[in-house]
Structure 1
Amino acid sequence: MPETANEAINMYQASVPIVLRALTNLKTILGKAEAWAGEKNVKEETVLNARLALDMLPFSKQIQLVSDNAKGIAARLGNVENPSYADDEKTFAELHERLQKTIDFVKSVPEAGFSGSETRELVLKFPQRTMEFTGLAYLTGFGLPNFFFHYTTAYAILRHSGVPLGKPDYLGG
């Protein structure tokens, strides 16, 4: 956060590098899950459909939501169109492709578009409600927390399933 009231936050630096690091880590984690499944003779769909509780979304959906949140953060704060992805991934390869496509999109958003986004008004429309934010409130109170909720849940599902992961995998290099 800014050290003084007069110091502005760099919304690009507060979002894009953080999201890119986590997406890159998630690609590595996904690769470890795929290798583990192969070594242990665990069916791909078993891993992709794994969940921590019966009423939660499966691993594959967690990856899709990580992707959606990353795209949303970059697009909304970078003032560009948010691409829509089909959410139809059914294999490790398709999830890898989804994550790479998301990384490529986030990297493509020009830093200049983030200028002034901390005070930009953002409106998110969901089937049950509409949420209004300034850019900074969105990033710190919704965008990043929601992104990391699904990132952490994906990691936890794999750990719970037996994939040998640790904190260094989650945090990355």
Structure 2
Amino acid sequence: MPLTMYTLSVPAFTRGFSALSGILDKAETFASQAGLPLAERFDARLAPDMLPLAGQIQRASDTSKNAIARLTTLDVPRFPDEERTFADLRERIAKTVAFLETVTPDDLDGSETREVTLSFPSFKTTLSGEDYLTKFVLPNFYFHVTTAYAILRHKGVPIGKADYIVGLG
């Protein structure tokens, strides 16, 4: 299969969400078996100025959906950031994956040359769709997936690299 905007995005996002679902399951099991409050993991963050676990998963969800929105003409679902439980986070992941499963290779065909403009308070830039996906979206998505993993690992959840790198076989 040739490398396409679709193969670079949708399968990567769904694998990332599979990893997130798995580590959430392990976190919940760990807390339950150890008699620890689940909220301690849910609200955990690595640094005071970073988003907590829920925020990391919300941003991974938004990053993947917004990438599809910017690279296609598809209507993308919006989810309010109202998750308060691990079940809510799993539901957010499931809804995101369900949307991603509706995206076809044809939807992303030609998007590598589409212009995407990003505006932030500190800078504004316009990228080709390919540069947007490879230089902004994928690093941003994996940053949030990795940070969610790191938060749970830091809080004692017995997870390892194999839990992060899933679906390769």
- Residue 80 of structure 1 corresponds to which residue in structure 2? 74
3-state SS of the aligned residue for 2:116?
A: strand
Using structure 1 for the length normalisation, give the TM-score. Answer: 0.89
Distance 1:125 1:94 in 2: 30
State the percentage of identical aligned residues: 48
Kindly state the Cα deviation for residue 103 of structure 1 after the two structures are TM-superposed. 0.4
CA RMSD of aligned residues (A): 1.5
Alignment of 1:1-173 (within 5 A): 9-126=3-120, 129-173=123-167
- What does the per-residue CA deviation read over 1:86-135, in whole Å, with 9 as the maximum and x for residues that have no partner? 00100000000000000001111122111110000112344555432110
Kindly state the Cα deviation for residue 38 of structure 1 after the two structures are TM-superposed. 0.9
Using structure 2 for the length normalisation, give the TM-score. Answer: 0.91
3-state SS of the aligned residue for 1:15?
A: helix
Aligned pairs, number: 166
Uncovered stretches (5+) of structure 2, i.e. residues with no partner: none
Kindly state the Cα deviation for residue 20 of structure 1 after the two structures are TM-superposed. 0.7
Distance 1:106 1:140 in 2: 18
CA 131–45 in structure 1, closer or farther in 2 if over 3 Å, else same = farther
114-123 or 129-138: which moved more?
129-138
Uncovered stretches (5+) of structure 1, i.e. residues with no partner: 1-7
8 Å contact from structure 2 (residues 6, 104) kept in 1: no
